[in-house]
Structure 1
Amino acid sequence: MKPPVLRTTSPPLTLARTLRRVHLVCALIAVSLTGGSLMIVGMIRLQALENHNLQLLARSIAYSAEAAVVFNDQRAALDSIARIASSDEVESVSVFDIHGGRLATWQRTRNDSHEKIWGLVDRLPWRSAVAVPILNEGVPVGEIRLHGSPNGLLAFIVTGFLWIAAGMALSVASTLYLSRRIFNRITIPLGELARVTHQVRSARSFGQRVPPAHITELNDLASDFNALLEQLEKWEAGMQLENKSLAHQATHDSLTGLPNRTLFERRLAHEVERATRDKQRFAVLFLDADRFKEVNDTMGHAAGDKVLVAVAARVREQLRAGDLVARLGGDEFAALLSPLRDAEDASRVAWNIAVAMREPIVFDDGTTVMSSVSVGMAVYPDDALDGIGLIRAADIAMYLAKARRNKEWRYNAAGLRGRMVHFNE
C-alpha cells in the first residue's frame, strides 16, 4: 500500500492581488478582442481595396498587351506587362491567348533567404488574384491573370500586431496604476478592519478604532464596527468591575471589609513558603472579642455588628503596612505579622491592640459598651512549620488565654507550643 502523498497548499492570495489580477486579465482580454476585431475588419477592407486596385492594374495590362496578343508577339507581351507589373502590389502576371495558351509570364523575383516565409505566404487563404479578358474591338482575344503581392497585407498585419502589443503594454501599465489607486481605497480600509479585529481577538484591545474610509459602504462598515467596539469596551469594563466585585466578595468579609478565612489561609500558605525560603520568622495572632455574645443577646444583632466593625478597625490600626488582619467568622479574627525579628515584637502588637480596645465603643444613640480581646500567638518556625499548625497553635493559645484571665503564659502539650495573652478592660 502506497503511503499517502502530502500535497502542499500555497498560501491564499491577498484581496488586492486577486483584484489586480482579475482587472489585468479583463483589460488584456478587452484589448485583445478589440485589437483582433480591428485587425480582421482592416484585413477584409484592405483585401477589398487590393482587389479593386488589381482589377485596375489588370485592365491597364490588358489594354497595353492587346496588340501583342493579337499578333502573338511574346516579347512585346512580356515588355507590356513588365512595365506595369513592377509595382509592389503585383506578385505575378500571365497572358493567355484566346485558346488558353500561355503567351507570356512575369514573376517578381524573391529573396531565396526568405524561402520559408514565401512558402507560408503562398498558402495564405487571402491572396488576391484577378482575371481580366483582353478585348480587341469588344471581342475577347485573350486573358490576363494577375496575382497580388502579399507585402502590403503582411505589412498591415505586422504593423497591426505592433500597435496591439503597444496598446496592451499601455493598457497593462494604466491598469496597474489605476488599479493600485482604486484598490488601495478598498484594501487599505479592509486591512485596517482586519488588523483591529485581530487586535481585539488576540489582545482584547477594545479601545482600538477603525479609521474612516473614502468609500461610503466601507465607511459605514467602519462606523458600525467602531460602534460595536465601543459597546464591547463598555461591556468589558462592566465585566471587569463585576469580576473585581465578585472576587472581593469571595475573599472579603461583607460586614467589616476585612479579608475572610479563604484569603487569610492563602496568604498564610504563601508566607510559609517565603519564610522557609528566606529563613525568616513571622507570627500569627488569633483574636476573639470578649463578651460579644452578651452584647449580641442583650442589645441586638445591630449592636453586635457595630462591635465587630469597631474591633476590626482598631486591630487594623495597630498593624504595620505589610501585616494582614482577617475576620475568620463570628467574633474571631486573625492577624499575620511578617516579617518578625522575635516573639516580643508580636507581643507588643498584641499589647497595642489591647490598649486600643480599652476605649469604649460608642453607638449612634450615645450608648457605650466596653469590650476586650483575648489573643493567642504562634510563631513560625518555633511553634509550627505549616499554616494549619500555626492557626491551630494560636487558636488553642487564645482559648487558654481566655480561660486564664489576667495572665500571660506559655503552653506546651504533645509538642505543640503556643503563647497566650489576655487583656481585660
Structure 2
Amino acid sequence: MTERPSSRTTLQKLLSRFHFGITLFAVALSGLTILLAGVAALRGYADRNMELAAQLGAYGVEPALVFNDPTAAREGIEPLTRIPGIAKLRVSDDRGRPFVEWASPNADPAPLLTPLFFPHPFTVPVQRNGSVIGRIEVWGDSSTLTDYVRIGLLAGLACLFVTALGTIALARRFEYELVKPLNEIATVAHDVRLHRRFDKRVQPLGIAELDRLGGDINALLDELAGWQGTMESERAVLAHRASHDPLTAMPNRAAFDEQLAQRIAAAGARGERFALLFIDADNFKAANDSFGHAAGDAVLVALSARIKDSLRATDFAARIGGDEFIAIVDPLDADTAADALANRIRTAVAPPIALPGGDSYRIAVSVGVAIYPDDGGDAIALLTAADAGMYADKLTNRSK
C-alpha cells in the first residue's frame, strides 16, 4: 500500500529552499500593482462623478444666470450639496465674476488624498441657446475614498506580513515549486492592472500561507469590485439627474437639445417630416398664488403626465422650463394638420386636476407648432417658429 502524499505543503518548509529577497519582492510587487490599479480605477470613477455633478449643476443654475437671480442659483446647486465627496461649488457669470459659492461645512477626512484624486476643480460651461452664460466649478474631497484606501493599505500590509513570516528561512532549491504559485498571483494582479479584471481571483495553490495570501488579495479584489459597482450606480444616478427634470421625471432641456438634433438628422436622412410643439401653461401662476406651491407642483406633474399620454411611443416630450414643455411628434403623418396636434394637447390637459388639499384646478395651455422641414431645417429655426406660434396662440386665447 502506497503512502498518500500530503495535499498541502507549508510555506515555511518550501521557503527553506529559496531566497528571502526574491519571494518578498514578488509578493510586494503584486500587492503594489493591485493597489495602484485600484487607485487608478477609483480616480477615473471619481473624475466622472464630479463631471456629471458639474453638468447637473450647470442645468440647475442656467435659469438663475439668465435672470441674474443668486437665490435661484443657490437652489439650483442645492442638490449637489447633498452628494458625498463635493467640497466646494462656485458659479461664475460669463465674465468670470463669482455669482454664487458654497463650501462643505465638513472637514476633509484625508487632505493628503484630495490633491491626488482631485488636483483641479471640474469646470462646466453653462449654456443658453448655444451661448456660454457662465461656468460652474466643482471641487472634490476624499470623503468617499478613505474607506477604500484604509482597507487597501491594511490588506496590503497583511499580505506583506504573512509573506514575511513565511519567508524567514532561505534556500536555493525547489525554485520552480515557489515561482509557479507566485506567478499565479502576479498574473491576477497583471490582469487587474491592465484590463481592470476585478472578477479575477487567485485560485487555491495547495500551500497554506500562499492560500492565505490569495485570500487577502481576493478580499481586496472584492472590495474593488464593490467600489466599482457603487461608482457605476452613482454615475448612473447622476447621469439620470443631469438629463431629467426632478419634479416630473421628464427629460430636461439638455436631453431635449440632444434628442432634437438626432431627430433632425434622422428625418433629413429619411426625407420625412416631424412636428415640434411648444407648450406653455396659460394660468399656472394663478394655481401657485391661489393654492400654494405644493398645488403648483401637482399641476405640473399632472400636466406632464397628460402631455406624455397624448403622444405615441415614438414621440418625445420634455420639460424645458417652469411651465414650458416641448413635444416632438415623429414621424408626422402626411394627413395630420398642425392645428390637430395642438388641439390634441389642449383636449388632453383640459380635465380638472385634483390638488393635494382636495380642490381641483383647470389648466389651459397655449401651443405653437413648427413642422420640419417646412418651418425650418435646424434646431434654432424650428424653436423660433414654434415659440412664435405659441405666443400667437396665447394672444388669441387672451382676446377671447
TM-score normalised to the size of structure 2? 0.54
1-structure distance, mates of 2:290, 2:398: 26
For the pair 1:278 / 2:270, whether they are aligned, the reply is yes
Equivalent residue, structure 1, for 2:366: 374
1-structure distance, mates of 2:184, 2:351: 66
Equivalent residue, structure 1, for 2:261: 269
For the pair 1:331 / 2:298, whether they are aligned, the reply is no
Q: Structure 1 pair 231/405, CA: closer, same or farther in 2 (3 Å)?
A: same
Q: Structure 1 pair 262/221, CA: closer, same or farther in 2 (3 Å)?
A: same
Q: Give the AA of the match of 2:317.
A: V
2-structure distance, mates of 1:278, 1:195: 51
CA RMSD of aligned residues (A): 2.5
2-structure distance, mates of 1:196, 1:186: 16
2-structure distance, mates of 1:226, 1:306: 51
Q: How does 1:406-417 map to 2 (within 5 A)?
A: none
2-structure distance, mates of 1:188, 1:322: 59
CA positional deviation for 1:347: 4.7
2-structure distance, mates of 1:218, 1:333: 63
Q: Which of the residues 201, 217, 220 maps onto 1:228?
A: 220
The number of residues matched between the two structures is 231
Equivalent residue, structure 2, for 1:67: none
Q: How does 1:276-425 map to 2 (within 5 A)?
A: 276-342=268-334, 344=336, 347-405=339-397
Q: Structure 1 pair 295/230, CA: closer, same or farther in 2 (3 Å)?
A: same
Q: Which of the residues 183, 187, 205 maps onto 1:213?
A: 205
2-structure distance, mates of 1:194, 1:276: 54
Q: Which has the larger radius of gyration?
A: 1
Q: Contact (CA 8 Å) 1:319, 1:349: kept in 2 or not?
A: no
Q: Deviations over 1:91-111 (max 9, x none)?
A: xxxxxxxxxxxxxxxxxxxxx
2-structure distance, mates of 1:264, 1:332: 12
Q: Contact (CA 8 Å) 1:289, 1:331: kept in 2 or not?
A: yes
Q: Give the AA of the match of 1:295.
A: A
CA positional deviation for 1:359: 1.3
Q: Contact (CA 8 Å) 1:283, 1:343: kept in 2 or not?
A: no
Q: Contact (CA 8 Å) 2:299, 2:355: kept in 1 or not?
A: no
- Secondary structure of the 2:320 match is strand
Equivalent residue, structure 2, for 1:53: none
Query: What runs of 5+ residues in structure 1 fail to find an aligned partner?
Result: 1-18, 24-177, 408-423
1-structure distance, mates of 2:335, 2:286: 33
2-structure distance, mates of 1:292, 1:284: 22
Q: Contact (CA 8 Å) 2:282, 2:365: kept in 1 or not?
A: yes
Q: Give the AA of the match of 1:395.
A: D
Q: Contact (CA 8 Å) 1:284, 1:335: kept in 2 or not?
A: yes
Q: Deviations over 1:131-178 (max 9, x none)?
A: xxxxxxxxxxxxxxxxxxxxxxxxxxxxxxxxxxxxxxxxxxxxxxx9
Q: Give the AA of the match of 2:255.
A: L
Q: Structure 1 pair 225/292, CA: closer, same or farther in 2 (3 Å)?
A: same
Q: Deviations over 1:248-291 (max 9, x none)?
A: 11111111111111110111112112222222211111101120
Q: Give the AA of the match of 2:324.
A: E
CA positional deviation for 1:352: 2.8
CA positional deviation for 1:345: 6.0
Q: How does 1:133-148 map to 2 (within 5 A)?
A: none
Identity %: 46
2-structure distance, mates of 1:240, 1:332: 32
CA positional deviation for 1:310: 0.5
Q: Give the AA of the match of 1:246.
A: L
Q: Give the AA of the match of 1:328.
A: I
2-structure distance, mates of 1:188, 1:350: 74
Q: Structure 1 pair 346/320, CA: closer, same or farther in 2 (3 Å)?
A: farther
Q: Structure 1 pair 228/359, CA: closer, same or farther in 2 (3 Å)?
A: same
Q: Give the AA of the match of 1:382.
A: D
Q: Deviations over 1:234-253 (max 9, x none)?
A: 11111111111111111111
Q: Contact (CA 8 Å) 1:258, 1:325: kept in 2 or not?
A: yes
Equivalent residue, structure 1, for 2:236: 244
